[in-house]
Structure 1
């Protein structure tokens, strides 16, 4: 039975604590916070995720990310999908996008967001997103991460951006996907506005405005408050009010920041103008620092409530940094994430490599760094393992790899399996690496297969992080090996491919295309 928000909120109020300071919960299983940021690039932080600091690391100020990194492990080779919905469904299901088929961003029921292409028609992918039932057309039925945690005794809280299921489907409401509490999550992937003075994109009279108006924050309408801060305040109140139930909590803190539309967070905007930033650049930087303050507020709350030593924090972005427009200083598009190539929507590193930090007190060595590659669907089995959930009855096949052993030992070993990306779609923008592609990374080698031309590109990421040298012509054996591996994987998961307009034939898998 699908619960309504109002029903659970009444139940939640019964857990409300009395006056006085709340102390640590009497439970052994850890609280778990997944703190996910929208469109945050690998370098949009003062924490360096490369072998050296970059100019962007020196520009941004994220002291709480620095604090988290000093208390946990930094992942220098963490990956997600190149756009948001595929990543979020992968995190919640443990499935790779090629398997769950939510390969592009979702919004309206049965409506594809794919832009028209002169040579390709795109497959009937799962435009309705992730669902808790198997009766919704063009969707993937899953037993979600919060549902499994809830079944194992966790209080599950969602805050911020959801973007799991299309408008008018059960999956649009996080409550139906296993969350006990939903704060401001719905079908849309971005806010109409980050400003309380603009009712977060809703109508001036306070009525909802579809699809971009952020729901559930009416108490902040008309106030001079940024969306990031409103979400943080409301989330901390919910957590505080729930502590007396002595359940461990799972918080999915999913900020709408730093997605467009860029709005200035006045608390931090002027400092970047004073540093010589352009208006757009300062807007974005202020949003990054506002997100970082939220992280710090979460950590300080845990300290005050004596929960720090029994709470895991996992920080990640859902895709690479937004780079299709110049923010003011480079003078060129697609250059914002350098030395990474391109940005959001791209198969190149700028579109898929993301910042990631994990703090697990008494388990993860403080101020540690790993080069072990991870991808966003790995979070699903890892969080379940952290929570002590030994057996699951998920209806879906789990592709993610449990990396708890990496957290515990920090051994710099090779990943057990290759990592795969599949995007048989059109994002609507153009630029380097943006287009219908399938990609595999195995060790240091990365192969990109372009659906429109059947061209293959080969890069050695360890030696060429900027993907400046295509080595395909000089390494035919490696191209064949990776083509075979990628083709076998796509075939195994029954991955969808576009249709070639001229011939009406399906784009072939890469292992049956001559290497070129």
Structure 2
């Protein structure tokens, strides 16, 4: 099977030849990372470092996407969180989005109700929609009692029906938030979204969920989850369920995993069990500074979670038989 990777998506249009049966609409899995450089994957520099015997970042799943798909070598992104996210969601250059600067008061400088975002477009096109990770708008920054302070900029106000997210970019300056925002929510939830504990306890002890890279079954895994593990497991549930539904009904899905990784702080990953297991055999890795080791481990952890999502496309019901694969009709961005 082949996966397609694009680093910028503006418009998706499908055409069929006159008289031909309409092509089945593809599923879309969008992977969006935070503060990761273009040169941090194999084909863009890390493979060359490996060949020279230098320390390198391991991203086998992203490398596979680049090899089998399209890897754009000329691109531009805003260097700060909120404008970059606004541009990605709206399709506008950062200078033309309302959220054109990082502002600690996200209720005042945020995406608006009238802005047509990715989720709006995909929901209107009949897709089942999901968003997991850093959103950056619509909620306050208080770590322990955050509240919705701008309904019009929530992901649930822009077409996303399945959500596990952080709404404020400052609150995302830790990977151990005590709570995350979730949808579907209780009936009286403001904006259709509510807070739930940041935990992956429900995945512990289940053979349905891989133990790597999270080591969620380890006795030292913290009760408050490393949030990117929570995001990834929620995304995996969504992809498995909706891939099977796609095979039954033909209804496509659009899922966007927007990781906090590898944004700072870097040292928090070292609080997790076996956090550097992917580099246990790498003597060059051990010579790096602690921060460099932590950053590399974060990226490789993220890549491993991506790999599980790709496996879910190949075998949605996890029975070892890939006859139900939807990989050939899924666009991975």
TM-score (norm 2): 0.66
1:270-309 matches, cutoff 5 A: 271=279, 274=283, 275=285, 276-305=287-316, 306-309=325-328
1:273-352 matches, cutoff 5 A: 274=283, 275=285, 276-305=287-316, 306-314=325-333
Higher strand proportion, which one? 1
Please tell me whether residue 70 in structure 1 is matched to residue 70 in structure 2: no
**Mind listing any 5+ residue stretches in structure 1 that lack a counterpart?**
1-26, 111-126, 133-140, 195-199, 204-213, 315-516
Please tell me whether residue 39 in structure 1 is matched to residue 70 in structure 2: no
Instruction: Give the structure 2 partner of residue 241 of structure 1.
Output: 241
1:46-57 matches, cutoff 5 A: 46-48=42-44, 53-54=48-49
- Cα displacement string for residues 126-159 of structure 1 (whole angstroms, at most 9, x for unaligned residues): x421022xxxxxxxx3011111111111111001
Structure 1 residue ranges (4+ consecutive) displaced by more than 6 angstroms after TM superposition:
none
Please tell me whether residue 253 in structure 1 is matched to residue 229 in structure 2: no
Larger Rg: 1
Give 1:240 shift. Answer: 2.5
Give 1:288 shift. Answer: 0.5
**Contact 2:59–2:303 (CA under 8 A) maintained in structure 1:** yes
1:269 to 276, 279, 282: 276
1:428-443 matches, cutoff 5 A: none
Instruction: Give the structure 1 partner of residue 187 of structure 2.
Output: none
Aligned mates of 2:97, 2:265 — CA distance in 1:
29
Give 1:290 shift. Answer: 0.6
**Contact 1:32–1:251 (CA under 8 A) maintained in structure 2:** yes
Q: 1:223 to 1:109 in 2, by over 3 A?
A: closer
Instruction: Give the structure 2 partner of residue 480 of structure 1.
Output: none
**Contact 2:36–2:262 (CA under 8 A) maintained in structure 1:** yes
Aligned mates of 1:284, 1:171 — CA distance in 2:
34
Please tell me whether residue 202 in structure 1 is matched to residue 159 in structure 2: no
1:181 to 153, 162, 165: 162
Aligned mates of 2:171, 2:296 — CA distance in 1:
18
Aligned mates of 2:329, 2:41 — CA distance in 1:
26
- Cα displacement string for residues 271-291 of structure 1 (whole angstroms, at most 9, x for unaligned residues): 278421221111111100011
What is the count of residue pairs matched by the alignment? Answer: 249
TM-score (norm 1): 0.44
